[in-house]
Amino acid sequence: MAIIEIESRETLTREEAAARLRTLADELERHNEVEFDWGGKQLTVRVADEVSFELEIEVGEDGETELEIELKWRH
DSSP state of 72: E
Runs of H (alpha helix) within 1-75: 14-30
What's the pTM value of the predicted model, to 2 decimals?
A: 0.80
* Per-residue pLDDT tens over the stretch 12-26: 999 999 999 999 999
Among residues 55, 44, 56, 51, the alpha carbon closest in space to that of 74 is found at: 51
Q: How confident is the model at residue 4 (pLDDT cuts 50, 70, 90)?
A: confident
* Per-residue pLDDT tens over the stretch 13-59: 999 999 999 999 999 999 889 998 877 888 899 999 999 999 999 99
